[in-house]
Each structure stands twice: as C-alpha cells, then as structure tokens.
Structure 1
Amino acid sequence: MYQEERLAAILDNLQKARSLSVADICRLYGVSRDTARRDIVKLTEQGAAIRTHGGIALPDIKNQILAYRERLQAYSEEKIQIGAKALSLIKDNGCYFFNASTTISCMVRQMKVSANIFTQSLDVAELLSGDAQSSVHLFGGTFHQRNRFFFSVDSIKQIERIHFDAAFLGAAALTDDGIYYEDEEDALLSRIVSDRSDSTIILADHKKYEQMSRFKAFDWKAADILITDRQPPEKVDTAREMQGTNLLLAESDS
C-alpha cells in the first residue's frame, strides 16, 4: 500500500475511533513504528489530525473545548478552594499525573509552577496548552466523550514505564469501601497511576460522599491525602483514618 492510500485509510479509521495510537497504526496496516510516525507527521502537517502523546486524534475534538470553557465559569467555590489547596503540593520540575475531573481542571487553571504533566484528560491538556512553563503529555486512545478522556491499552503500557512524584485524582464517589469512578477504564487507569506514584492525592468536594458509582479504583490505604471542603461522614472518615489517608480541608475564605 502506498503512503497516500494508507493515509486515506488511517483517516477513515480516525473518523470512527476519534483517536489512534502508533501501535494501532502499526497493527492495522502492518507497518513499522518509524513508518507510522512518518504518517502521523504527514497528517498533522496537513491539518487532518492533531498529535497526542503516542498517537493522533481528530482536530474537531478541540472545538468541544469552547463549551467546556463556559462550564468552567460555573465552578463552585468549593472546587476552587480545593484546587487552590492542592497547589501547595506541586513543586517546580516535578513529574505529575492529572486525571479527568472538573476539580482537577479547576486546580490546573490556578497553577503557576513549572512541571512535567501527564494526563489522559483532553480538558487538562487544553488548559495547559498555553502554559510555556510546563511540559504536557496527553495519552491517546479511544475518546470517552461523557467524561472527556482518552484510554487505550497502549497508554497503560506507557504509564507502567513512568514514575510520578504524585498523582492528583478526582473521583466520582467516596465511600467507606474506597474510591470509585463512573468508567471502568478510568478506575483501572487511576489504580495503575497510583501504583506508579510516590503519593496519591484525591481531590473531591463533599457532594461525592452522596454519590454511588460502579467501578472501584482502590481502597483508602492506597490514597495518601484527601483534599475536600467538609469533614467526611463518620463511616467514610473512620475508614479513611484507619487506613492512613491524611485529610486536608479547603475552607472557604468567606
């Protein structure tokens, strides 16, 4: 297959999958990683795709950011305070993982330090794209539109080769049983990232105590710090304390 034919075929697959990794292109078209990378360069130069960490994605995904920026204006005071509290734990030149979460995004909006950031979140990557201080690495894969993150087996393999100073993770639900997520892929990724990090830091407002979610990422013993705006309910707080998770309360200035 000539390159132009292959590029057309890659674009056809990209329309269906929304994103492709280098490994996907190698597998689908029987080419080497060097050839796959040359194809990616060609497609991005033509404006037909955008680069992600380890692959490509459709450029029209970026247009969804406009609606997201409007949602940022509606952030609660609690999430703003939680994000500000978390910033004290981010050091210059550190290596961190940020997951897909509105509270994490709120933290990112306030960030002013130079760091190496890895993420699967489209929104986090976009928020940091204009930050000349930080190095941003976006993992590719299939795009999950509801919670706006990418996931692929190839990304998991990449994460397993990286050591993070800390993982900053939002959550869908906090219970006495542990930390839960809406998506199985998000729970799996959070668990692996936590294993690869010196410190796991959970950012969540008090509403997460009231939520139910299907997929458990890990027990409280895997979390080093919980940053929230209110003291957890007794059952959750007892489990957190017994399993050694420190509590940081982000109190409102008002």
Structure 2
Amino acid sequence: MYQEERLVKILQVLNEQISMSVVEICERFTISRDTARRDILKLVEQGAAIRTHGGISLPVIKETILAYRERVRSFSQEKRKIGEYGADFLEETGVYFFDVSTTVCCLAEQVNKKMQVYTHSLDIAEVLSDQSAASIYLFGGKLNEQNRFFFDIEGVNQLDKMKFDAAFLGAAAIMEDGIYFEDKEDAYIKSIVVQKASKNIILADVDKFSKSSYYKGMDWKNIHIIITNQCPPPAFCEIMKANNITLFVAE
C-alpha cells in the first residue's frame, strides 16, 4: 500500500475514534514503527492531525476551542486564585501531570516556564498550546465528550513506565475516605498517577468538601498538599493532620 493511500485510511479511522496509537497503526496496516512515525509526521506537517504521547489524534477543531473558551469565562475567581497559588509549585525543567479539572486549567494558564506537562485533558492541551514554554504530551484514546478527556488501556500502561515530579489533580468530591471523581476511567487514571508522582497536589475549592461522588481515585495517604480557597471543615483538617498533608488557603 502506498503512503498516500495509507494516510487516507488513517484519517478515516481517526474520524471514527479521534485518536490512534503508533502500535495500533503498525498492527492495522502491517508496517514498522519507523514507517508509522513517517506517516504521522506527514499528517502533522499537512495539518491533518496532531501528535499525542504515543500516537496521533485529530486536531482540536475550532468549535471545540470556542466551547472551551466559553467555559473559561465562567471559571470563578476562587478557582483562578487556587490555580495561581498552585503555579508556585512549578519549577523550570520539571515533569508534571495535569488532570482534567477546571481548577487545574486555571493553573495551566499560569505556565510560563520550560517544563514537560503530560495530560489526558483536551482542555489542558488547548490552554498550553497558546504558549511556547512547556512541552505538551497528550495521552490518546477515546474521547469522553462530557468531561473532555481521553482514555485507553495503552495510555494507562504508558503511565506505569513514567515518573512525575508532581501531579496536579482536581476532585469531584473530597470525602472522609478519599478523593472521588465522576468517571470510573478518570478515577482509574488518577489511581495510577498518584503512584508515579513524587508529590500529589490537590487543587479544589472548599465546596468539594461538602459534595459526594461515585469513584474513588486516591486515599488520603497518597496526598501531599491541598490548595483550596477557604479553611475546610474541622473534621477534614484532622484527617489532613493525621496524614501529614500540608494545607494552603489561596485567599
């Protein structure tokens, strides 16, 4: 099969499932990794696709960017303050994981240093694409359209081979037995990430301490720092103290 014919078929697959890994391209078209990488480079040069960590995906379309920017306008001042406070923990040449939280998006807007940022979040990738300081690595997979993150088992397996200086994580709910999220797949990613990061930092407004959600992503023992906008209820302060978690209030 000639390259041009193969590129058309790759784009057909991308239109159905948003992203493909290098391994998937090799297996589907019976080609070597070098040939798959040349195909990816060609599609990227043509503007037909973007690189992801370990593969390729469709470029972020204009409507998606506009929808994201509408969401940005609705971010509360509290989230922005938490994000600004979290930026103090970013260091030059650091290697970080950013999750899908809107508060972590506020952190991403503060990035102005050379560093590596790994994420499975469509919004984080869009934010960081507007600045040239950080290198962005987007994990691929099927797009969860509601909460705007990518997931597949191969991406999770890649996490197992990595280390991060810090992971910056949001929360759907902070409960007495741990940190919870809305999506099972997202919670599973967090459960892996916290094992691979030297420091796990939760960015969450105080309302999250009064909410409940469905899927636990981490225990309190996995957390090193919590940044919020008000002092949490006393019961949670006791839990943090018992687990040697440092609390910062971004006022």
- Work out whether the TM-score is over 0.5: yes
> Which has the higher mean CA deviation after the structures are superposed, 6-15 or 188-197?
6-15
Alignment of 1:35-54 (within 5 A): 35-54=35-54
CA RMSD of aligned residues (A): 1.7
**1:154-233 mapped onto 2 (5 Å cutoff):** 154-233=154-233
Q: How many residues align?
A: 251
Moved >6 Å (runs of 4+): none
Unaligned runs of 5+ in 1: none
Paired AA for residue 101 in structure 1: S
**Cα deviation code 1:52-97 (max 9, x no counterpart):** 2221112254530112112212211110111111111111111111
Unaligned ranges ≥5, structure 2: none
Contact 1:20 1:141 in 2 (8 A): yes
Structure 2 CA distance for partners of 1:146 and 1:88, relative to 1, 3 Å: same
1:244 counterpart residue number: 244
Q: Distance in 2 between matches of 1:143 and 1:174?
A: 25
Aligned residue for 1:22? Answer: 22
State the partner residue of 1:56.
56
Q: Which moved more, 1:231-240 or 1:17-26?
A: 231-240
Output the CA distance in 2 between the equivalents of 1:215 and 1:24.
29
TM-score by length of 2: 0.93
Instruction: Select between 220-229 and 50-59 the one with higher mean Cα deviation.
Output: 50-59
CA apart distance, 1:175: 0.3
**Greater mean alpha carbon deviation, residues 151-160 or residues 100-109:** 151-160
Cα shift at 1:142: 1.4
Match of 2:120 in 1: 120
- Which amino acid is the alignment partner of residue 180 of structure 1? Y
3-state SS, counterpart of residue 237 of structure 2: helix
Determine the structure 2 residue equivalent to 1:102: 102
Q: Which is worse superposed, 188-197 or 108-117?
A: 108-117
1:80 aligns to what? 80
Q: Distance in 2 between matches of 1:141 and 1:243?
A: 35
The amino acid of 1:37's aligned partner reads R
CA offset digits 1:100-129 (Å, max 9, x no partner): 111001111123332221111121112111
Measured after TM superposition, the shift of residue 10 of structure 1 is 1.8
